[in-house]
Amino acid sequence: PEGHRNKAIIETLYGCGLRVSELVNLRLTDIHFSEGFVTVTGKGNKQRLVPVSNKALKEIDNYKPYRNSLRVIHDPNIIFLNRRGKKLTRAMIFTIIKDLSAKAGIRKKISPHTFRHSFATHLVEGGADLRAVQEMLGHESILTTEIYTHIDRSFLRDTLLMFHPRA
């Protein structure tokens, strides 16, 4: 059962680029399965809509029967629960990721933030609009998004050559 939960956690972190605090507070009513979006409550209690991958939705669906079979569920709307039916803590998410990366033989230090970083980097490297990435990450400033995604110089040059009329 915890394997299904953990797989859903990883897919949600990577598929939506969530902060750990956003993940642990994610509610069943925040997921709009038919529309393919998640309502995320971020820093400063600000809400945003983030697209969610079909893979993440599938893994959450696979986890729900195990979640619903817990003897006690303290908050029936929280998605990710521990085996005692309580909301997972931020520290527990860090522990889960650390343990799973060790089991996978990954020597590099992996944290929940690694999935958020990879989400943003892969979008930008794939050609996504920086403003769209900013919105999905919930960054107030585009500068934060630029720093966060570590855009390499060749990508910037290619973008200039492709879109600037004087290039």
Residues belonging to the chain: 167
C-alpha closest to that of 118 among 17, 31, 19: 17
CA angle (63, 91, 49) in 5-degree steps: 55
Distances in whole angstroms, Cα of residue 3 to Cα of each of 43, 62, 86? 29, 10, 17
Report the catalytic residues: 19, 43, 113, 116, 139, 148
